[in-house]
Amino acid sequence: MFKVIDGGITAPKGFKAAGVHAGLKKMKKDMALIVSDVPAVTAAAFTTNKVKAAPVLWDISVLAGGEAQAVVVNSGNANACTGVKGLEDAKETAGYAASKLGLRQDKVYVSSTGVIGVPLDMAKIKGGIDELIPALSSDGADAADAILTTDTFRKEAAAVADIGGVAVTIAGMAKGSGMIHPNMATMLSYITTDAMIDQKTLQELLGNTVEDTFNMISVDGDTSTNDSVIVLANGLAGNVKITESYGYEAFEEAFRFVLGELAKDIVKDGEGAGRFIEMTVLNALTKKDAKVLARSVVSSSLVKAAFFGSDANWGRILCAMGYSGADFEPSLVDLSFSSPAGELLVVKGGEPVKFDEDKAKKILLEKEVKVMADCHQGTESATAWGCDLTYDYVKINGDYRS
């Protein structure tokens, strides 16, 4: 049981944020700052890409300390493929913000997204930090706007959990995979909470939750060099410290909700996406099989193109399950589509069921469509989220950089 509330990263006690236009982008806000009033326990998850942007390398060293108090984000320049200079710039960004905030450098995370292969304009970055600090407030909206790139809407979520009678707030903001002029899709997310929580417990919880949320979405299957999820837990709620054996389930439920909402918003705002697809696999042999199957379906270009055409193309879904590498028995699978317009069984025991094509079309014309595959083999389930493949995706990503 948790309560959903409005608001973003400043909803938990003791967090301030700001977003400004520092001149890295032409017009839009392009730098954000999050600061906790007190040192916070931290957890984070970063891109698995071998090519890691400089700020990610810096952040890995911050995470190793287990404690952080601020995050500086710029959404104009990814500071990726920038060599030794890039690493120095990331470190200098943290150092500059730290000195202005009266913090230690290794308590400041740095995130970047945007053009790659171009050195950071450190004068603009420092100017941005100078502007951000006086702009810090208890309104998280400017920060949530400032991390966006080609996103079409702000992504925030917040919830309150009850930990032994104490209200603990968890909130987050994210930017989705919008094509960045001129480069790659990046997913950034920041989670704040006033929970008092054990660092190890928080890191483990984040790992598990990312697996079920951010790692179960697919826009185009490309994993960026800058993907980051950063959590700060400052303990100001005054709860008894959450550990694996105290308050964990209640906290986890709300935490999972916040990350899940942000993940789904990213897919809904996927580049050129016109339709949101929720793929659930039921009764698989193992949790891993369920996940691999669900993810394979939402990642298939053929499936995505079929959804663009509102085509009840169950064959492509079975096919994508088939090549996923997961263990399942095709001849046992039931497949159905559903949406606000109704529900329809299309495959029973691996073979097609005669269905009303008009009804199928009606169901698939809705903005949000659910697909359910029942493997009838085990008890494990998983859900993945994706979007259709549209002309606009090709247009956005095919546009010449200049």
Q: Which is nearer to its own copies, 35 or 320 (CB)?
A: 320
User: Quick check: 277 and 268 in contact, CB under 8 A?
Assistant: no
How many other β-carbons are positioned within 10 Å of the β-carbon of residue 65? 12
Instruction: List the one residue from 58, 314, 337, 385 that touches its own copies (CB under 8 A).
Output: 314
Bridging pattern class, strands 342-348 and 334-339: antiparallel
80 touches its own copies by CB under 8 A? yes
Using CB under 8 A as the binding rule, the residues of this chain from 188 to 227 that contact its own copies are: 220-225
Instruction: List the one residue from 118, 133, 141, 341 that touches its own copies (CB under 8 A).
Output: 118
Bridge partners of 311, per DSSP, are none
- What binding mask, one character per residue, do residues 93-112 give for its own copies by CB under 8 A, x or -? --------------------
318 touches its own copies by CB under 8 A? yes
Q: How far apart are CA 198 and CA 163, in angstroms?
A: 14
183 touches its own copies by CB under 8 A? yes
Bridging pattern class, strands 31-46 and 15-20: antiparallel
Question: Which span sits near its own copies by CB under 8 A: 153-161, 165-173, 198-206, 313-321?
Answer: 313-321
Q: Which is nearer to its own copies, 238 or 349 (CB)?
A: 349
49 touches its own copies by CB under 8 A? yes
Query: What are the distances in angstroms from CA 203 to CA 129, 214, 237, 329?
Result: 28, 15, 19, 36
Instruction: List the one residue from 17, 173, 230, 306 that touches its own copies (CB under 8 A).
Output: 306
Q: Determine the length of the chain.
A: 402
Per-residue exposure over 189-201, b if at least 16 CB sit within 10 Å of its own CB, e if not: bbbbbbbbbbbeb
Question: Which span sits near its own copies by CB under 8 A: 103-111, 125-133, 139-147, 387-395?
Answer: 387-395
Residues sharing a CB contact under 8 Å with residue 233, sequence separation 6 or more, in sequence order: 40, 41, 42, 43, 192, 193, 194, 195, 196, 197, 202
Catalytic residue among 82, 186, 192, 201: 186
State in angstroms the smallest separation of the CB of 75 from its own copies. Answer: 16
Q: Which is nearer to its own copies, 13 or 316 (CB)?
A: 316
Using CB under 8 A as the binding rule, the residues of this chain from 143 to 182 that contact its own copies are: 179, 182
Bridging pattern class, strands 334-339 and 108-112: unpaired
283 touches its own copies by CB under 8 A? no
Instruction: List the one residue from 15, 328, 337, 385 that touches its own copies (CB under 8 A).
Output: 328
Q: How far apart are CA 205 and CA 248, in angstroms?
A: 9
Encoded tokens for 153: 């809407």
Query: What are the distances in angstroms from CA 396 to CA 56, 182, 337, 399?
Result: 26, 10, 29, 6
385 touches its own copies by CB under 8 A? no
383, with CB counted inside 10 A (0-12, 13-18, 19+), is buried
Q: What is the DSSP letter of 223?
A: P
Q: Which residue has 């930990």 as its token pair?
A: 163
Question: Which span sits near its own copies by CB under 8 A: 37-45, 127-135, 228-236, 319-327?
Answer: 319-327
Q: Which is nearer to its own copies, 189 or 310 (CB)?
A: 310
Instruction: List the one residue from 87, 135, 141, 305 that touches its own copies (CB under 8 A).
Output: 305
State in angstroms the smallest separation of the CB of 287 from its own copies. Answer: 18
Q: How far apart are CA 304 and CA 388, in angstroms?
A: 4
Instruction: List the one residue from 175, 256, 295, 316 that touches its own copies (CB under 8 A).
Output: 316
Q: Is 186 a catalytic residue?
A: yes
Task: Tell me the backbone φ, ψ of residue 372, rounded to 5 degrees.
Answer: -125, 125
2 touches its own copies by CB under 8 A? no
Computed on alpha carbons and rounded to an integer, the radius of gyration of the chain in Å comes to 22
State in angstroms the smallest separation of the CB of 286 from its own copies. Answer: 15
Binding site for its own copies (CB under 8 A): 47-52, 80-83, 116-118, 179, 182-185, 220-225, 300-302, 305-306, 308-316, 318-324, 326, 328, 330-331, 347, 349-352, 357, 361, 388-391, 393-395, 397-402
Which residues carry out catalysis?
186
